[in-house]
Amino acid sequence: MHTYNVRSCSERLAPYIIRTPLVEVEELNRRLGKRVFLKLESLQRTGAFKFRGAMNYMLSLGEEEAARGIITASSGNHGLGMSLAGQLRGVKCTVVMPVTAPQTKQRRAKAYGASLILHGADYDEAQVYAKSLAAQEGYIYVPSFNHPRIIEGQGTMLSEILEDRPSVDTVIAPVGGGGVLAGLLVARKEMGANHLRLVGVEAAGAASMQAALRDGCPSTIPNMKTIADGVAVRTVGDLNLEIIKELCPRLWQVDDEIILDAQRLLFQESRIISETAGAVSVAGLLEMGLPEDAREVVCIISGSNVDLPSLTNLAAANPPLSS
């Protein structure tokens, strides 16, 4: 049985992380008829929430483990988090990213001092290669989402949300491997915030959590296709699935077209930079709406690591349709 202590984790991480703001978005208020706030993890160090779990993991390493160095696989943001965490603690870090990883994420990992290896067509193939290198070289392998210290670190977002806005009744988060949603769930349980509705949103083309819940175990989806590379995971973590099965959040799916609409809306209406995966929570809100009893909702904007050409396309694109 794994144990989690989000309160202690928050204290441990306080010297390292940014306490990211909650920002109310008038355009979303107008469309939804609710008060909508964004938790801007896009402003977190490394440009993504992943730094929370990565730094928590790094701080948990013993001296002997730290001396071996770590290796991880990542579609980008977890790799950036581990790269900076390794730099801060003086631990050698190797990151394996798929060959499709955005250039901005590749450059930043190297700028933080990590050794970068490009391998595989997606996160899952990069993960297999990283595990094989760990066995060959004696590195400590660090999961991207399937570890108690990673889960615990991501859960610190919820304590900040509820301290800043105790009246929030709904929190919506993106789902890839399940680390964010699992972290929010264990934090809700620890804090006794049973009134809080938690919703996870998957890209329809990478709905591995829905598949795992259907099958009762982590199952690998054979065909995966989504523009949201940060949530493009074929197989969820077993720890994450265990938590989600026990605590039963709502799960939504959204198509890529809706994700792009949400990303454009955030940029064009509110000047908020979000990568595609970072806009998944807002996409879910726009597509699915909320129950009548929901009054105040927080969407987690999970990352902002967008290449300049993508930003140029967002600026030039036709605005999302008004509703």
Q: What is the pLDDT of residue 321?
A: 52
Task: Please give the CATH number for the structural domain made up of 50-142.
Answer: 3.40.50.1100
Q: What is the pLDDT of residue 5?
A: 95
The rounded Cα 68 to chain-centroid distance in angstroms is 27
CA distance 109 to 206: 25
Q: What is the pLDDT of residue 320?
A: 63
Q: What is the pLDDT of residue 1?
A: 65
| 170-174 sheet: strands from edge to edge | 22-24, 35-40, 296-301, 170-174, 197-203, 250-254
What ranges in 141-237 are assigned the alpha helix state H?
Answer: 148-164, 179-191, 208-215
Is 6-48+148-316 in CATH node 3.40.50.1100?
yes
Element (H, E) at 88: helix 77-89
- Cβ proximity of 180 and 154 under 8 Å: yes
- Cβ proximity of 51 and 303 under 8 Å: no
Catalogue the active-site residues: 50, 302
Element (H, E) at 36: strand 35-40
Give backbone dihedrals phi and psi of 212, rounded to 5 degrees, phi first: -65, -40
- Cβ proximity of 176 and 145 under 8 Å: yes
Indicate the pTM of the whole model. Answer: 0.93
In the chain, which segments carry CATH 3.40.50.1100?
6-48+148-316, 50-142
Q: What is the pLDDT of residue 292?
A: 85
CA distance 173 to 213: 18
| 140-142 sheet: strands from edge to edge | 115-118, 93-97, 70-73, 140-142
The neighbour count for residue 35, using CB atoms within 10 Å, is: 18
**Nearest by Cα to 300 from 314, 280, 272, 286:** 280
Q: What is the pLDDT along the chain (323 residues), one digit of tens a residue?
A: 689 999 999 999 999 999 999 999 999 999 999 999 999 999 999 999 999 999 999 999 999 999 999 999 998 899 999 999 999 999 999 999 999 888 889 999 999 999 999 999 999 999 999 999 999 999 999 999 999 999 999 999 999 999 999 999 999 999 999 999 999 999 999 999 999 999 999 999 999 999 999 999 998 999 899 999 899 999 999 999 999 999 999 999 999 999 999 999 999 989 999 999 999 999 999 999 888 889 999 999 999 988 877 777 777 777 665 54
- Give first-to-last CA distance, the chain, whole Å: 47
- For residue 258, how many C-alpha atoms fall within 13 Å in the half-sphere facing its CB? 19
